[in-house]
Amino acid sequence: MGGFADLIRDVPDFPKPGIVFKDILPVLSDPAAFASAINALSDPWRTLGLTAVAGIEARGFILGAAMARELGVGFVPLRKPGKLPGQLHEVAYALEYGHDRLQVQRDAFAAGSRVLLVDDVLATGGTLVAAAELLQATGAELVGAAVLVELRALGGRARWTCPAPLHATLAY
């Protein structure tokens, strides 16, 4: 995968004891690795008629915005509460370490939008499933979901029951 896999760092006991955090930031700070990660993330979706990428706060913004540019489509942020102005849709969910909510602006997607969800890591799957629910509330069509890293032992893929495909660039 163009060498970027070697740059993903395991950080034990972050942000809580027992969690092995996958730190992707060294991939972003290396220009060649960043480019090859964005290419690998984008490749499965190039011919599927996407109109937008929706990135999950916060690392999903970085990967998702770069993918949107690579794919020539728009970018929409799915944000934590209190950040977005205007009328919103909201979903609450549980994650590997705590609870959270995601919001999106009600008018973020034009009618007929075909959207790809993006995040950095798939762990238990709670975040991605919640993001798919949120997207459904907007009326946009979910074309698929892309993550850079899937942590197989945490079973996130089994919770992804959407018919839209879920693609992980790397799986551990």
Q: Which residues are catalytic?
A: 59, 96
Query: Applying CB under 6 A, which of residues 51, 124, 138, 169 lies at the interface with ligand AMP?
Result: 124
Q: Does 123 bind ligand AMP (CB under 6 A)?
A: yes
Interacting positions 12-41 with ligand AMP (CB under 6 A): 19-22
150 CB-side CA count, 13 A: 20
- Per-position DSSP letters for 65-93, written without gaps between them: HHHHHHHT-EEEEEB-TTS--SSEEEEEE
Q: Does 120 bind ligand AMP (CB under 6 A)?
A: yes
Q: Does 96 bind ligand AMP (CB under 6 A)?
A: yes
Residue 73 token pair: 């489509």
First to last CA, the chain: 14
> Which one of 41-49, 61-69, 120-128, 164-172 is the stretch in contact with ligand AMP (CB under 6 A)?
120-128
Residue (51 or 130) nearer to ligand AMP, CB? 130
Query: Dihedrals φ, ψ of 158, to 5°?
Result: -65, -25
Query: Applying CB under 6 A, which of residues 119, 131, 144, 170 lies at the interface with ligand AMP?
Result: 119
Q: Does 79 bind ligand AMP (CB under 6 A)?
A: no
Residues near 148 by Cβ (< 8 Å), separated by ≥ 6? Answer: 8, 24, 27, 37, 41, 63, 120, 121, 168, 169, 170
Query: Dihedrals φ, ψ of 49, to 5°?
Result: 65, 35
Report in angstroms how near the CB of residue 17 gets to ligand AMP at its nearest. 13
Report in angstroms how near the CB of residue 95 gets to ligand AMP at its nearest. 4
Residue 156 token pair: 């996130």
Q: Which residues sit at the interface with ligand AMP, rule CB under 6 A?
A: 19-22, 56, 59, 95-96, 119-127, 151, 156
